[in-house]
Protein backbone atom coordinates (compact mmCIF):
# COMPACT_ATOMS: atom_id res chain seq x y z
CA UNK A 1 0.00 0.00 0.00
CA UNK A 2 1.45 3.33 -1.01
CA UNK A 3 2.26 5.86 1.66
CA UNK A 4 2.08 8.68 -0.89
CA UNK A 5 -1.70 8.54 -1.31
CA UNK A 6 -3.24 11.62 0.26
CA UNK A 7 -6.24 10.69 2.33
CA UNK A 8 -8.71 13.41 3.26
CA UNK A 9 -11.76 11.53 4.52
CA UNK A 10 -12.11 10.04 7.97
CA UNK A 11 -14.36 7.39 9.50
CA UNK A 12 -14.66 7.12 13.25
CA UNK A 13 -16.12 4.46 15.53
CA UNK A 14 -15.78 3.50 19.17
CA UNK A 15 -14.18 0.36 20.59
CA UNK A 16 -14.06 -1.24 23.98
CA UNK A 17 -10.61 -1.40 25.59
CA UNK A 18 -10.56 -5.13 24.86
CA UNK A 19 -11.40 -4.60 21.17
CA UNK A 20 -8.71 -1.93 20.91
CA UNK A 21 -6.11 -4.22 22.51
CA UNK A 22 -7.10 -7.02 20.13
CA UNK A 23 -6.58 -4.71 17.15
CA UNK A 24 -3.19 -3.59 18.46
CA UNK A 25 -2.16 -7.23 18.84
CA UNK A 26 -3.40 -7.96 15.32
CA UNK A 27 -1.30 -5.08 13.97
CA UNK A 28 1.83 -6.51 15.57
CA UNK A 29 1.05 -10.03 14.37
CA UNK A 30 0.35 -8.89 10.79
CA UNK A 31 3.20 -6.39 10.62
CA UNK A 32 0.80 -3.53 9.96
CA UNK A 33 2.01 -0.12 11.14
CA UNK A 34 -1.28 1.16 12.58
CA UNK A 35 -4.85 0.27 13.43
CA UNK A 36 -5.92 2.68 10.67
CA UNK A 37 -3.96 0.68 8.09
CA UNK A 38 -5.41 -2.56 9.43
CA UNK A 39 -8.96 -1.19 9.30
CA UNK A 40 -8.43 0.26 5.81
CA UNK A 41 -7.13 -3.08 4.52
CA UNK A 42 -10.03 -4.95 6.13
CA UNK A 43 -12.53 -2.58 4.52
CA UNK A 44 -10.84 -2.97 1.14
CA UNK A 45 -11.28 -6.73 1.49
CA UNK A 46 -15.00 -6.24 2.13
CA UNK A 47 -15.56 -4.04 -0.92
CA UNK A 48 -13.04 -5.68 -3.31
CA UNK A 49 -14.39 -7.68 -6.24
CA UNK A 50 -14.01 -11.44 -5.65
CA UNK A 51 -11.44 -11.82 -8.45
CA UNK A 52 -9.12 -9.16 -7.02
CA UNK A 53 -6.22 -10.41 -4.86
CA UNK A 54 -5.86 -9.56 -1.20
CA UNK A 55 -3.36 -6.66 -0.94
CA UNK A 56 -2.27 -7.57 2.59
CA UNK A 57 -1.74 -11.23 1.68
CA UNK A 58 0.32 -10.19 -1.34
CA UNK A 59 2.50 -7.95 0.85
CA UNK A 60 2.91 -10.64 3.50
CA UNK A 61 3.82 -13.22 0.85
CA UNK A 62 6.42 -10.81 -0.59
CA UNK A 63 7.88 -10.16 2.87
CA UNK A 64 8.04 -13.89 3.62
CA UNK A 65 9.92 -14.46 0.36
CA UNK A 66 12.38 -11.72 1.23
CA UNK A 67 12.91 -13.10 4.74
CA UNK A 68 13.42 -16.59 3.30
CA UNK A 69 16.07 -15.25 0.89
CA UNK A 70 17.81 -13.31 3.67
CA UNK A 71 17.77 -16.38 5.90
CA UNK A 72 19.32 -18.48 3.14
CA UNK A 73 22.03 -15.87 2.57
CA UNK A 74 22.77 -15.56 6.32
CA UNK A 75 23.11 -19.34 6.58
CA UNK A 76 25.46 -19.37 3.60
CA UNK A 77 27.61 -16.59 5.06
CA UNK A 78 27.63 -18.28 8.45
CA UNK A 79 28.93 -21.51 6.89
CA UNK A 80 31.67 -19.54 5.11
CA UNK A 81 32.75 -17.85 8.35
CA UNK A 82 32.72 -21.18 10.23
CA UNK A 83 34.75 -22.83 7.48
CA UNK A 84 37.39 -20.09 7.61
CA UNK A 85 37.65 -20.28 11.39
CA UNK A 86 37.82 -24.07 11.18
CA UNK A 87 40.78 -23.83 8.78
CA UNK A 88 42.61 -21.40 11.03
CA UNK A 89 42.04 -18.46 8.69
CA UNK A 90 41.10 -15.20 10.28
CA UNK A 91 42.04 -16.30 13.80
CA UNK A 92 44.64 -14.33 15.66
CA UNK A 93 47.45 -16.07 17.49
CA UNK A 94 49.50 -14.51 20.26
Domain boundaries of the chain, sorted by first residue = 13-50, 53-94
pLDDT given at position 94: 42
Q: What is the pLDDT of residues 7-66, one digit of tens each?
A: 888 889 899 999 999 999 998 888 888 998 888 888 888 887 766 666 677 788 888 888
pTM above 0.75, yes or no: no
Separation in Å, CA 35 to CA 23, 24, 62 = 6, 7, 21
Contacts of 41 (CB under 8 A, 6+ apart): 1, 32, 55, 56
- Judged against a pLDDT cut of 50, whether residue 1 lies above it is answered with no
* 81-86: long-range pairs with CB below 8 Å, 24+: none
Amino acid sequence: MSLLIRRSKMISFRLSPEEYQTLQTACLAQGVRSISDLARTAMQRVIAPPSQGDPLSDEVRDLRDRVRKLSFELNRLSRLVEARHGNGEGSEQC
